[in-house]
């Protein structure tokens, strides 16, 4: 009887211990601070005649060993990627150029990572009085989305942004070949196009160009979706 009681106690103790094992938590998503979202960066310092040193800041996140910052040049598509253990970093970037950036939180202990939101900014330059609009953000259909073929029509939405707040109009392009998109509608005043004809069992690609009142033009990235 005594042996049975001891065995029962051992089962109880080890059973409780098993339930309180440490469960590794993944890295926390960080919050971006500077450069501010959809604004001109005016705090950069001269690095060369064509580049300035831009300081990026974000909030420290829990369970993170390393941060990876990714800065994309909207004009030529180049991406600068750097890793750091700090919550800030300074990078030389071309003046008078629009960028987008994000920070990936990495936990090396469990090989997990999570990305922050993506912000856009304009690296200003002396004497610059007009900014090219940011490339439109394509919202719907989402990249890689499959939509149902019902009426043979599809609706498209996007979001435009311009530091100077002088967007004049948009142009909408669509096609089945990403390298040969066709202009479907131009001088669009809103951020949507409705009732566009599509075919079933077809993959489509689309983009939007933005023109401001000074004639500056930017083009969005190319998105794609499938009609079933």
47-87 per-position pLDDT tens digit: 999 999 999 999 999 999 999 999 999 999 999 999 999 99
Cα Rg, the chain, nearest whole Å: 25
Report phi then psi at 191, rounded to 5.
-110, 40
Q: Which of 104 and 126 is assigned the larger pLDDT?
A: 104
Tell me the residue range of the domain where 112 lies: 32-123
Q: Which residue in 109, 107, 227, 214 sits closest to 165, CA to CA?
A: 214
How many domains does the chain divide into? 2
The pTM score is 0.80
Confidence class for position 129, pLDDT limits 50, 70, 90? confident
Do 188 and 160 share a domain, yes or no?
A: yes
Residue 142: inside a domain: yes
Do 83 and 142 share a domain, yes or no?
A: no
Residue 2: inside a domain: no
């Amino acid at each position: 009887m005594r042996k049975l009681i001891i065995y029962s106690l051992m089962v109880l103790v080890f059973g409780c211990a098993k339930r309180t094992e440490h469960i590794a938590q993944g890295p926390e998503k960080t919050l971006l601070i500077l450069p501010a979202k959809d604004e001109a960066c005016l705090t950069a310092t001269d690095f060369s005649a064509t580049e300035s040193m831009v300081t990026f800041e974000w909030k420290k996140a829990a369970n993170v060993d390393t941060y990876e910052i990714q800065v994309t040049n909207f004009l030529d598509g180049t991406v600068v990627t750097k890793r750091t253990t700090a919550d800030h970093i300074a990078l030389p970037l071309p003046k008078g150029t629009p960028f987008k950036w994000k920070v990936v939180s990495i936990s090396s202990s469990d090989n997990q990572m999570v990305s922050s939101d993506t912000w856009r900014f304009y690296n200003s330059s002396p004497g610059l009085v007009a900014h090219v609009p940011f490339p439109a953000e394509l919202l719907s259909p989402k990249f890689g989305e499959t939509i149902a073929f019902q009426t043979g029509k599809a609706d498209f939405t996007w979001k435009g942004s311009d530091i100077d707040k002088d967007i004049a109009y948009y142009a909408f392009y669509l096609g089945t070949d990403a390298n040969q998109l066709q202009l479907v509608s131009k001088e669009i005043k809103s951020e949507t196009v409705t009732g566009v004809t599509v075919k079933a069992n077809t993959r489509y690609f689309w983009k939007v160009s933005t023109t401001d009142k000074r004639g500056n033009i930017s083009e969005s990235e190319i998105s794609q979706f499938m009609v079933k």
